[in-house]
Amino acid sequence: MLVNFSKMHGLGNDFVVIDNITQNVFLSRDQIKKLADRHFGIGFDQLLMVEAPYSPDLDFHYRIFNADGHEVEQCGNGARCFARFVRMKGLTNKHKISVSTKSGNLTLYIEKDGQVTVNMGHPNFEPSKIPLKATKRELTYIIRAEEHTVFSGAVSMGNPHCVMEVDDIETAQVSTLGPLLENHERFPQRANIGFMQVVSQEHIKLRVWERGVSETLACGTGACAAMVIGFIQNKLTSTVQVDLPGGSLQVRWSGEGHPVRMTGPAEHVFDGQVAL
């Protein structure tokens, strides 16, 4: 079977996007892992599936699979590429697109300059919803992992995030602490791990060790998680520039009770066909 796909990226966080409305594709976890392999496959951080909506008030359903083959709840950079993909392929001509995901609904807006704004919904700080094993909600959790003691915030942006502040992201222990915390017993569904350097109240630098992938060049939900955690810790204002290794995003949030909005680019790289 030949499957048509597009290769896309949002700030270097890269995706294979499959139109599963005009095609009928089912991929096993092993097939996804093989396609994600950067030497033996196509190579990607996430596979995105565009599917028909479940209800008339929605335009599409959006499925996300990490490079390790596991299906996950949310992907911010992927959402922006999703919006660009459905317009590019003529699946819609709307500028405001409503999609359901495994963890809720998103609204995507195509801006005049081609950037995409995503209404990411409400962050959830309740430990049981992240999920994080903790007796109560805290601004900062103390997590011990081997010889490390980490002070971090935690939030669900639809998917689980743990964010710690560091003095300098260049020297942050991303490849050691990242996997230790991703698989820490206090995160029963594992977690994405952010390393945030606060440059000013309107500007942070961020590196993210992504669950099911490893460090990526950018993580949209990670950028939102870092911003909301920095905000509730009184370190950030309501509009923040987030610099990731692959480029910058703008994240806006006015506090609890309000949705998070993220704006950034979405790029098409090439179209291809793969034999399964």
Ligand X SMILES: N[C@@H](CCC[C@H](N)C(=O)O)C(=O)O
- Tell which one of 121, 127, 212, 230 touches ligand X (CB under 6 A): 212
The Cα-based distances of 22 to 4, 15, 25 in angstroms read 10, 19, 10
In degrees, rounded to 5, the angle at the alpha carbon of residue 57 between the alpha carbons of residues 51 and 62 is: 25
Query: In the complex, what is the shortest distance from the CB of residue 191 to ligand X, in angstroms, rounded to a whole number?
Result: 8
The answer to whether residue 192 forms part of the interface with ligand X (CB under 6 A) is yes
Query: In the complex, what is the shortest distance from the CB of residue 252 to ligand X, in angstroms, rounded to a whole number?
Result: 16
Q: What is the CA radius of gyration of the chain?
A: 18
Cβ burial 143-179 (10 Å sphere, 16+ → b, else e): bebeeeebebbbbbbbbbbbbbbbeebeebebeebbb
42 vs 201, beta carbon nearer ligand X: 42
Q: How far apart are CA 113 and CA 149, in angstroms?
A: 44
Query: In the complex, what is the shortest distance from the CB of residue 147 to ligand X, in angstroms, rounded to a whole number?
Result: 26
- Tell which one of 141, 221, 236, 244 touches ligand X (CB under 6 A): 221
The answer to whether residue 156 forms part of the interface with ligand X (CB under 6 A) is no
Site for ligand X in 158-187 (CB under 6 A): 159
Q: Active site includes 219?
A: yes
Site string for ligand X, 110-149 (x = CB under 6 A): ----------------------------------------
Token pair 């990242």 is found at 178
Q: How far apart are CA 205 and CA 168, in angstroms?
A: 9
Query: In the complex, what is the shortest distance from the CB of residue 266 to ligand X, in angstroms, rounded to a whole number?
Result: 11
110 vs 223, beta carbon nearer ligand X: 223
The answer to whether residue 76 forms part of the interface with ligand X (CB under 6 A) is yes
Q: Active site includes 162?
A: no
In degrees, rounded to 5, the angle at the alpha carbon of residue 20 between the alpha carbons of residues 19 and 24 is: 130
Burial group, residue 9, by CB count within 10 angstroms (0-12, 13-18, 19+): buried
Strand partners for 203: 200, 241
User: Is residue 252 a known part of a binding site?
Assistant: no
The answer to whether residue 260 forms part of the interface with ligand X (CB under 6 A) is no
- Interface positions with ligand X (CB under 6 A): 13, 45-46, 66, 72, 75-78, 159, 192, 210-213, 216, 219-221
Residues comprising the binding site? Answer: 13, 46, 66, 76-77, 159, 192, 210-211, 220-221
